[in-house]
Every structure is written in structure tokens, then in C-alpha cells.
Structure 1
Amino acid sequence: MKNTIALRIADFLKNHPPFDVLSKEQLLEVSSRVQVLYFEKNKVIFNENDEGHNQFYVVHKGAVALQKRKNGDFITIDNCDEGDIFGLRPLIARENYVIKAVTREESILYGIPLDVFDPIVKKNLKVGNFIIESFASNTENPYSEEHRKKLYTENGIDVAISSSTDLYDLQPARYVKNVITCTRDDKTRDVALLMREKNIGSVVVTEGDIPVGIVTDRDLKNKVVTGDYPIDTPISNIMTSPVICYPKNITIAQAQIAMMKYKIGHLCITKDGTPKSRLVGFISEHDITVSQGNNPSVLMKAIKRASRTKHLKRIHEKIMILLQGYIRQDIPLTHISRIITELNDATIKRCIELSLKKMPESPPVKFAWLSLGSQGRKEQLLHTDQDNAIVFENAPADKLEEIKTYFLALAKKVTKRLNTLGYEYCPADMMASNPRWCLSLDEWKTQFTQWIAEPGEDEILLCSIFFDFDISYGDSTLTDDLSRHIFEKTGQNTYFFAMLGKSVLQNPSPLGFFRQFLVEQNGEYKDFFDLKKRAITPITDAGRVLILSHQVPHINNTAERFEKLAELEPENKQLYLSCSYTSKALSKFRTKHGLMHNDSGRYIELSALSKEEKMKLKRCFKTIREIQELIKMRYKLTSFI
């Protein structure tokens, strides 16, 4: 007799991570052991210092607040609603609870027994990682390596993930989906004619969509042309069998190794990766060779050799394919950023070189092309609008306008090429082609001095863009001199840092009232979440003001800034490392959704997010709230937030 209660529980759990990755048998086993619990509003589920329960909890209906003691009172650090899990400490740390869980409203909870779930965690890395991330979210500690080790290595399981220095090999291999097939009873003559008609070198032999063999032009030469078999023999006598099959997520490295191992030039892609399931694609040695065009080193060489903008455009399209592959393979963002940034910088540099060749004469003085904003921070992965500037060597007053006219003409050519590649013109015209942002070194020093001395709202906004500059081409002595000037003028200017700190607080923590994200209230993106404004900008601005206050030059990347701050302020190490994690997580989240929707990834439709994605965002928002609180106290900005 079926356990209908267990089936109903399983039906609920399967829609929420990490239960959504369990097998049907595992899900039913867990569901049959679940304890259904009812709590009235404001009832304590467990208290601080209580001995750990023999189960953790899933909210079926209602809401639960997780609270932590601070200055003698309990403050809410997280709110759990339908599908959220909490109370994980007994599963991970085998310690007493350090927080309090209390219902916010009438609630029904599912108690998941530790003894039935613990073996699943040990065997399924994806489930274990989700549990760790959920635990980190509940405890405001995204860096849970200590607990990760407790969860896995105490039981002898090695969860170290090896990283490949050749990330190209980790890209998914591209395969042909429209596979030409025949049956084993077809005559060899007919198959040969089919190959000529389709201009292909191989055909897959199938039985009811199941691959049973492969015939190549080499088979025809070696077995038919030689006279070993007549031209009318069934193709089953000619084909190579059995076939070697893989699932569709096979990487380039795996495909290459398989072909070398079995001494073959073709692989079949089937639904489950076995020869007993439906054929969905086909990979040839030639496909692998062609796909090497997306190798970073190959792309870099191609960029340097490109002689026209249209060549660079094709290469840049391949860079986006490379980025998509990295995101799909879940490569760490640090590696992705380094590679994509280097390729983007090389592209910008090549655009400048090609534009210089089109100028009537060489530059009259030394100059440097500055990339600003996200590109200056080495965080620009998707196509966004251009932010750039030019600084050129000081010159006599009577030559200044002539020199500036030259560089404005150069900038116009460069920005036009970048626009052709997909980088939109800046709506605010913050580009080197604007006379305001094409200045001599002394003019730039005067400009920065004014912004720092009189930091109004407009000046602070400009500082947030122009302080994050990076040289993409030209003489680095100019940019080094400008950096020294900025640090000299900021120095111990507490009022300037307070104004920068104030800008960090302009966008409060993205979580509004209980269980709600702050979304746009009107306009084109009404009811969408502005990821850049509400999350990325606050964490970026916070990193900038803090690293400037420590007078640390040459670190523009937000994640790297916080990692450096963790060294400089050991007492805030955990928070700063959480900020570094948050910066990378938000950037990867934006990139993933930008690629998915072919846009900048700035605006997110919340209804389209999975429970897991919302959980990760909530964890990031907690860190933003904490760093804003630190800045508010450090710069005595008590009238904000």
C-alpha cells in the first residue's frame, strides 16, 4: 500500500533544492521518514545554545526568522519561507545551535532526519555543496571551508577540485545536432551516394534512433574500393562497431582523449551517454580542430594579427562563445575574468593601433588610453557601454589645442571601432572623444584636485567612474604620475572619504520588507530587480573608498581590493572575504543572465529565478548590508540608511 503522505511530501520537496537532484528512490526514502511539525506564530523551534536536534528543517508553509544575539538582544539575520532549509548545524558541525529560530507566522515544517540524509550528502557533492551554501547563508559566513571539511573529509572523502591551467580544454565540445544516418540494411552504394550528396565524410548507422555503427569514407576506401566487399553489400558489413558514446556535456579535453584512446576520429553523443540511448549528436576530429579557434591563446594571436575591424568583430564573437563555455562549465570567476579581460584589453589595444595607422601623422606627444569603470576594474565580461579617456603629455599653451584636436580625432576613430564590436557609446558621453575627457596630465591633475576638494554629488559620481582607471595603451609613466597625485590629494581628507562613504549608502540593502526584493516601481523595467544599482554598485563603491583610505595603489578589481583589505584589517577579515566572494558571485550572476537573455544582465526578472539563485542573492545582500554598516560607523554617517 502506497504511503500517500510520503508521496505528497516528496511532491513538494522535489521542487526545491537540494532535493530536486535526488533520485526518485532517495526522495521517497527521505519523505517516508519526514516528521511533519506544526508551530503557532512566535514559537521557538530551537534556541541559542540548545543541543542540536536529530533533524534539520524545511519550511512547508509559513515563515521562520533566524536570530542572533547582538548587544544582549536578538536581531534577525535571515528569514526563511516556503522551500527554505535551516537548522543545519547538527548535520555539519555536530555542535549546539548558535542562533535562534522562531516562527514569524503560523507554520508547518518538515523535519528531515539526519541519519537518513547524512549518507546522501556524503555521496552527492552537489547536495553537499548546497547544504554548505545554505548553512553559510544562515550563519552570515559565505566562507565555510572549515565546515566543508567537517562535512566531507572527516569521513575520508576528498572534495578537492582540481583547476586546469588550460581552461580551453574545459569548454564543452560543440557537436553536430543534425546527424545524417542510415540503417544497417542499407546498401553500401546508397550510403556512398548519400555521403556525396550531403558532402560529408561519415554516416551513423542506427536502429530505432540507437547508434550501432559508423561508416566513414576511409571504410569505403579500405573495404570496398579494395574489392574486399561488393558495392551492394549491406552497410553493416562495412561499418565500424560498436560506437563510442558520450553525453552532450563532454568537454574538448575529454573528446580529444577519447579519440586518442580508442584510435578513432568520431564520437556519438547520446541522451544518457551510453550506446543504448537515443542519438542526439555527433563529434568528429575535424569539429575539435575547428573549435580550437576559441582557444584563448589562438584568439590572442588572431587579435594581434587582425588588420580590419570586421576581423576583430568575428574574433570578439568567439570571445563571447569562450565566455559562455566557461560559465556553463562553472569555471571560477577569477580565472574567467583574467582571461576575458586580457582578451578585451588586447582588442582595445588593437583598435587603437589600427586607428593610429589611419591618422595622417604620428602622435605629437606621449599619451595613454584609459579604460574606466568596469573595464578599468577588470570586471567587464559582457558588452556594456564605453567609458574611456585620454591623458597626454604636457605641452606649451600655444600647442595645447592643436595637440588636443589630434587626440580627439584619434578617439573618434577608436570609439567608432569599439562600437562596431558591440560596445555601445556611453549615454553620458564619458568617452575620450569628448573634449572634457581628453586632457593633458596637468589638466587631469587640476580636474581631480577640484573633485577631491569640492566633493558634491556630481563630483563623487565622476570619482566613482574615473578613480577606477586602467591603462589599455600608451605611456604608463603618465598614469603612474596621475595615480600618485590622486593619493597625495586624498591623503587624510576625512571629508572627502565621508562623501565617498555616503555614496555607498545611497542604495540600501536590496532586501525590503520581509520576503521581498526591492524592485523597480515604474518605467521600462517595472517589477524587475536592478542588479547593478541595488547590489553591484554598493559593493564596488565600498571597496573603492576603503582601499583609497589605506592609500593602496594599482589594485582596481573589487574582489582583489577586499582581499587586500582582509590583510590590512585582520579584525574585519571575515567580512572583507565575504565582500570579495559577493563581488565575484554578483558578477558571475549578471554574466550568466546577460548571456541567457543577450543583454547586459543588469535587470533581473525575479519570477524567473530558482530557489537556489534567490538564496545565493540573499546571502550576497547580507554582506552588502554589513559592509554598509561598517562604512556608516567608520565615517560617522549616522543620518544615512
Structure 2
Amino acid sequence: MSNVIVNRVAEFLKRFPPFSFLEKEDLQAVAKSVEIQFLEKGETLFRQGEAARPHFFILKEGSIQLIETIQEKQEIKEICDEGDVFGVLALLGKRPYLLSSIATENALVYAIPVDVFEKILEKNSRVALFFAAGFAAGQVVVRQDLSQGQKARGEFKNPSGDHSLMIFSDQSEVKVSENVLRCRLNTSIREAAKSMANHQVSSIVLVDENGFPQGIVTDKDLRNRVLAEGISTENPISSVMTTPVITRKKQDGFSNLYLTMIRHRLHHLVLTEDGTTQSPVCGLISDHDIFLSMGNSPAVLIHALMNTEDISEMRKIRDRAEQMLLYYLENEVSMEFVSSVMTEINDLIILQAIQISKKVLDPKFPEFAETPFSFLSMGSEGREEQLLRTDLDNAILYQDVEESQREKAAEYFLALGIQITEILLACGFSPCPGKIMASNPEWVQPLSVWKSYFSEWILHPTQEALLRVSIFFDFRAVGPRKSIAEELTAHIYQQIGKKKIFLNFLAQNALSNPTPLGFFRDFVVEKSGEHKDQFDIKARAMMPLTDLARLLVLSHEVVGVNNTFKRFENLAQFEPNYEELFIQAGKAYEILMRMRALEGLKQGNSGRYLNPKTLGKLQRQLLKNTFAPISELQEIVQVRFQLDYFSK
């Protein structure tokens, strides 16, 4: 490969982690070894079940889908974009490919040899940890975010570009279990299983007379190799063991130990005194130990949530997420990244709550187990802005059923809503004072009723209706059937199109929020009550920006953008004359979110009320600076929606 091409390949790779973590000479070595492959639209790079090739891949141009085929039924598992690394799980495990890769348009792929990159993995811990984070989050495509799927690709980004530090900022030593459960090769399966149960462990190591490891048996082995196959439990445990055993030394270090587990698909790694099978067992590491050692990183918290249905454990994980949040806020991490991480964690808690609740209720209401429904997050969670566990605003939307089943369906979905709400409250979220929750029958309704609700609010925008709008218009379907929510969204825009004057009422309501500053340019504080002399950052600063962004986005018929600072980003593109103002408004909102979250974590509450006297001079000025876009936007809305004339 000529030097010109090598340099171009290196320049491209350098833009994307983990290649951005490589030393110059290593990057050049990788670039020299790359094989460039061109795929025409519809062409397959590798097929599910094929033996892993001696390469993994990074997409240079075009688009590639990763598809799983089960009983002739195909499902798209991932869509690869520029810079995405794929084919890695098969590479590290030396196993057949789990998915097929098909070019959906002409594509250019760089194939990177395994043997070249494995040397880098061994010496570059940042590269190793980057891959480890992706595997911990269960990704089939490795990219710079920790989400699953396209949705959060642009959201889980660290603007500094140092993704490994972001993910593993609190790396600690891996915990090793030194009291390893052992047995001899001739021990019966029944005796070994009983010993595992008595010691409450998920594995047992088989050793010879010298204590050298000969094999290992796990809970999974007992299920798959004994119970599923109907093997007698009087047979020796050695008949179902995994052998040879993969072993390492305790002193090998986190990266090497974890990468060994990844490469060999191990849930347990046996440690011996010299790292070989020819010395006594001295420890054991489980994947659970690994995840605990990695601390409060997004990958670990997400993985932990996906693998537990224990509500108390879910609460603990959400508590740990708050510790992570504090670290991010204090270190000035991008609010887009922070809110995306916290939204992903909150959404996973909701999805687990739905799953737990359905397991309880579906056997009692089997006729509705498959009825399509959406769990709607609203308010700050709907806008992907709920950093703290503030008030819940949510609802359930389900598919209309036959008239004869309506009453029973209402009973099922209300019971489901109550169960989900109780789990969320147990995880530390606060109840909505106005009872706008899925535990309230008014907000657990079929699609036809939800359509009538929104039609009524739009066609007859009373003050109460406009109050509902400020909460309900920011709904976001968390799961499990988002298509129903999309149908409701289409109905809303159709209704607004029929009654454009609704936006004038909405504009009037957006300007009704109290001003943040008084006549003498000082903070307007509460005059009485529990929060006397405190500044309401939500009502006087955040809500005006939220309401203005929602109004203007609705006026442009922008669908699917709920987040306030993302709404301002979109508006900057739609209205280039006001681009700078919208950019400043988005930044102002991010500052307000950060200030409120920090106050909430500091005080152990929602962070809604600040005491201006406790703010330093710079903090006070920063807060006041966020108010400037509010007044400018309100002036634009006043003129655009003819509110002087409209209010007469």
C-alpha cells in the first residue's frame, strides 16, 4: 500500500475511538495492514454462522445493516454508520458470526487484521477498556457511545474526545474471590450442585490431588448439560465440566483479566499462583466482580439494570447514577451527554418496571398480554431532561379493543400502571402532586380517548387545557410499542393544522410566566411560605424557555424533538435570522439545568429553589445572563402571534 493511501487511512482512523487512542507508530502499523473492501448495494460481507475471519471491520463510507435470521425470519439488529466498528465479537471469541452484514448502499470497508490489533490490545489499556465498555453494554457495534442502537448515537458523546477517561473515571482494583469452591473429578453432579447451593455460588472448580485446576462447572452448565439433557446426577461432575480451564495470574491487571474473559466468553476466570493450569488455584473472578470494580460508569449501570429485576437493587443502581451525575456536573461535562446518560438509565428502569409488572399481571389477564401499548413519559422525563428523581409525569396509551372487552382492558392497564408507578416510587422517584401518573385511571386510556383529549385541548384551549398542554405535549414513548404514540402525534399535528389559532393561545400562555428579574435588576424571590426569599429557577427561568421552545417548534411542525436545547438547535436551522439568539437560549437552558441539578444534589431535594444570597458573584452573573434570551424570545413571540391584538 502506497504511503499516500496509508496516510489517508490513518487520518480517517484517527477520527474515531479506539484508533484515536493509538500512538502514531501503532496507528501507522494498523493503517499499513488494512485491507480496503468495496461492497455494492445488497452485497454481503459475512453471513450468520460463518467462521470468524481474521479481520474486524470499520465502515469508511456507505451503510451496512447487521441482520439476525431466526427460522427464516430476519430482524435488523444494528445499522452501521461511518466510523462504526463491527465484526468484533466474533473476532475476540473466535466464534462463528452471530449476525449477517449486508450493504444497504454502496459501501467502503476497512478490514483490520486480528493479529496486528491483538498486540495493541495487550499493551494499550485505553483501547482495551474502550472495547470492554462496549461489551459491558451489550453492543454488537462498537462506537463512541454506550447506548444500544441508533437513538442515542449522537447523544452519548464526550466533547473532549477522551472517551475512555469518561467511561472509567473511577476505575478501581478488581475484586477477587479467594475462597474458591473446589471439588475432585469423581464428585457426583448431585454432590457438586448441593455444595454450590450451600455456599451460594454460581461455579465450582474441579481440581486434581495437587489442587491444580482441571475443569469448571457453572449454573449454566448444570441447566444446559445436565437438566436439559436428562443426565443422571449420579454421574461424575467431570462428565459435564468445561476443560481445559483458561487461567491467569492475579497480578495480570484489570485490562488483561477482563479482555481474557471477553475473548473466551467467560463468566468466570480461574486464577492460579503462576497463571497456568500447572499450579494451585488461588482465586476466581466473575463478570459480576468485574462490573462492580468498574464503579459508577454508564456501561456498568446500564448493564446492571438490564440484568436485574430486583427492585431494591434497581434503587441502589439509580442511587449510584446520582453519584455519577454529581461527578459529571462538577467536571463540566457536556449537558447533552449528561442528560442522554441519565435518560437512558431512567428509561431502562421504566422498561424493567414494565417487564416486572407484566410478569405479575399477564397470567391474570392473558387476553391482553399482547395488546399493543405505549408507556408515555411526560414533562422533564419526556423532554429527556430529568436528571434528578423529581416528580413523575407519565401515562399509558393502549390500542382500542372491542367494546365487549373495554372494561376488562381498562382494569388490566390500570393495574399495570399502578404496578409500574409503585416500582418507580420504590426506585426513589417522587409522585406527581397533580396525580398525572399511570396510576390514575384518567391517564390510562385507549388511543381513541387520548385523541379526544388532545382534540378538546386544542379546539377549546381553556386555561386548564393550556396547563395540561404544557405537560402532555412533551410526551415521549419509552416502550414497548412506540408506533401507537406516533399515531397520536400525527393526530395532534392534524388538529393544530385545523385550528392554527391554538398556537396564539399557546403563545399567550408562554408569556404568562413570571419575570426572573425585578425593576432593580435583582432576582424576583418568593414573598412568603416555605420558600420565602428563595428564587424559583424552574418557574421563573426554565419554564419560560421550555414553553417558548415548545411553541416555536410546534409552529414549524417539527416532529420527534422534545428536548428543549435540541429544540433550540432545530429552530436555529429553521430561522437563520435568529440563529445566534436560539443558540444562546439553548446554552442558557443547559446552564439552568446544571445549576438546578447541582443545587438538588447539594440539598437532597429537587433543586427548584435557590437562595440568591448563597451564590457567589460569578454564579449570580451567570444566572442573570441566562435570562437575556428569555425577554428577546418573548418579544418575538409577542409580535409573531399578534398578542397585543389577540388579547384585546
What is the TM-score of this pair, normalised by structure 2? 0.55
Match of 1:297?
299
Instruction: Look up the equivalent residue of 2:339 and give its one-letter code.
Output: S
Identity, % of aligned positions? 37
Distance in 1 (CA, whole Å) between partners of 2:464 and 2:403 is 29
Residue 165 (structure 1) aligned with residue 167 (structure 2)? no
Q: Which of 383, 395, 398 does residue 392 from structure 1 map onto?
A: 398
Query: Shift in Å at residue 628 of structure 1?
Result: 1.0
Match of 1:99?
none
Alpha-carbon contact 2:291-2:300 (below 8 Å) kept: no
Instruction: Look up the equivalent residue of 2:638 and give its one-letter code.
Output: K
SS of aligned partner of 2:431: coil
Distance in 1 (CA, whole Å) between partners of 2:406 and 2:165 is 47
Instruction: Look up the equivalent residue of 1:368 and give its one-letter code.
Output: S
Alpha-carbon contact 2:170-2:295 (below 8 Å) kept: no
Instruction: Look up the equivalent residue of 2:412 and give its one-letter code.
Output: Y
Residue 411 (structure 1) aligned with residue 430 (structure 2)? no
Instruction: Look up the equivalent residue of 1:474 and give its one-letter code.
Output: P
Distance in 2 (CA, whole Å) between partners of 1:165 and 1:173 is 14
Q: Which of 366, 372, 375 does residue 372 from structure 2 map onto?
A: 366
Residue 579 (structure 1) aligned with residue 585 (structure 2)? yes
Residue 342 (structure 1) aligned with residue 348 (structure 2)? no
Match of 1:497?
503
Q: Which of 437, 441, 446 does residue 440 from structure 1 map onto?
A: 446
Match of 1:15?
none
Instruction: Look up the equivalent residue of 2:323 and give its one-letter code.
Output: I
Alpha-carbon contact 1:563-1:576 (below 8 Å) kept: yes
SS of aligned partner of 2:644: coil
Distance in 1 (CA, whole Å) between partners of 2:488 and 2:292 is 45
Alpha-carbon contact 1:172-1:325 (below 8 Å) kept: no
Residue 355 (structure 1) aligned with residue 357 (structure 2)? yes
Q: Which of 574, 591, 595 does residue 597 from structure 2 map onto?
A: 591
Distance in 1 (CA, whole Å) between partners of 2:172 and 2:389 is 23
Distance in 2 (CA, whole Å) between partners of 1:330 and 1:620 is 17
Distance in 2 (CA, whole Å) between partners of 1:606 and 1:555 is 33
Shift of the 161–446 alpha-carbon distance from structure 1 to 2, 3 Å rule, reads closer
Distance in 1 (CA, whole Å) between partners of 2:540 and 2:318 is 30
Query: Shift in Å at residue 579 of structure 1?
Result: 1.0
Higher Cα radius of gyration: 1
Query: Shift in Å at residue 536 of structure 1?
Result: 0.5
Judge which range, 581-590 or 537-546, deviates more. 581-590
Structure 1 residues 256-267: aligned runs within 5 Å = none
Alpha-carbon contact 2:384-2:563 (below 8 Å) kept: yes
Query: Shift in Å at residue 290 of structure 1?
Result: 4.8
Query: Shift in Å at residue 289 of structure 1?
Result: 7.9
Distance in 2 (CA, whole Å) between partners of 1:330 and 1:454 is 44
Match of 1:313?
315
Distance in 2 (CA, whole Å) between partners of 1:324 and 1:288 is 23
Residue 473 (structure 1) aligned with residue 479 (structure 2)? yes
SS of aligned partner of 2:627: helix
Distance in 1 (CA, whole Å) between partners of 2:603 and 2:619 is 16
SS of aligned partner of 1:510: coil
Distance in 2 (CA, whole Å) between partners of 1:161 and 1:501 is 35
Distance in 1 (CA, whole Å) between partners of 2:632 and 2:170 is 38
Distance in 2 (CA, whole Å) between partners of 1:500 and 1:567 is 22
Instruction: Look up the equivalent residue of 1:559 and give its one-letter code.
Output: F
Match of 1:457?
463
Alpha-carbon contact 1:368-1:475 (below 8 Å) kept: yes
Alpha-carbon contact 1:171-1:322 (below 8 Å) kept: no
Alpha-carbon contact 1:502-1:637 (below 8 Å) kept: yes
Q: Which runs of 5+ in 1 are unaligned?
A: 1-159, 176-254, 258-286
Distance in 2 (CA, whole Å) between partners of 1:542 and 1:390 is 27
- C-alpha RMSD over aligned residues: 2.4
Instruction: Look up the equivalent residue of 1:164 and give its one-letter code.
Output: D
What is the TM-score of this pair, normalised by structure 1? 0.56
Match of 2:625?
619
Match of 2:114?
none
Shift of the 161–562 alpha-carbon distance from structure 1 to 2, 3 Å rule, reads closer
Match of 1:326?
328
Distance in 2 (CA, whole Å) between partners of 1:540 and 1:469 is 14
Q: Which runs of 5+ in 2 are unaligned?
A: 1-157, 174-252, 256-288
| Higher normalized contact order (CA 8 Å, seq sep 6+, divided by chain length) | 1
Distance in 2 (CA, whole Å) between partners of 1:289 and 1:439 is 40
Shift of the 427–161 alpha-carbon distance from structure 1 to 2, 3 Å rule, reads closer
Distance in 1 (CA, whole Å) between partners of 2:374 and 2:339 is 23
Alpha-carbon contact 2:374-2:484 (below 8 Å) kept: yes
Query: Shift in Å at residue 307 of structure 1?
Result: 2.1
Instruction: Look up the equivalent residue of 1:499 and give its one-letter code.
Output: F
Query: Shift in Å at residue 399 of structure 1?
Result: 1.4
Structure 1 residues 228-239: aligned runs within 5 Å = none
Match of 1:552?
558
Aligned residue-pair number:
374
Query: Shift in Å at residue 630 of structure 1?
Result: 1.0
Distance in 1 (CA, whole Å) between partners of 2:357 and 2:374 is 14
Alpha-carbon contact 2:171-2:294 (below 8 Å) kept: no
Distance in 2 (CA, whole Å) between partners of 1:167 and 1:450 is 51
Alpha-carbon contact 1:560-1:580 (below 8 Å) kept: yes
Query: Shift in Å at residue 349 of structure 1?
Result: 0.6
Alpha-carbon contact 2:329-2:598 (below 8 Å) kept: yes
Distance in 2 (CA, whole Å) between partners of 1:443 and 1:166 is 48
Shift of the 342–167 alpha-carbon distance from structure 1 to 2, 3 Å rule, reads farther
Shift of the 496–289 alpha-carbon distance from structure 1 to 2, 3 Å rule, reads closer
Alpha-carbon contact 1:371-1:387 (below 8 Å) kept: yes
Alpha-carbon contact 2:466-2:509 (below 8 Å) kept: yes
Q: Residues 6-40 of structure 1: CA distance to partner in whole angstroms, max 9, x if unpaired?
A: xxxxxxxxxxxxxxxxxxxxxxxxxxxxxxxxxxx
Query: Shift in Å at residue 471 of structure 1?
Result: 0.9
SS of aligned partner of 1:294: coil
Alpha-carbon contact 1:376-1:470 (below 8 Å) kept: yes
Residue 537 (structure 1) aligned with residue 543 (structure 2)? yes
Q: Which of 635, 641, 644 does residue 629 from structure 1 map onto?
A: 635
Q: Residues 498-518 of structure 1: CA distance to partner in whole angstroms, max 9, x if unpaired?
A: 111111111243011223110
SS of aligned partner of 1:617: helix
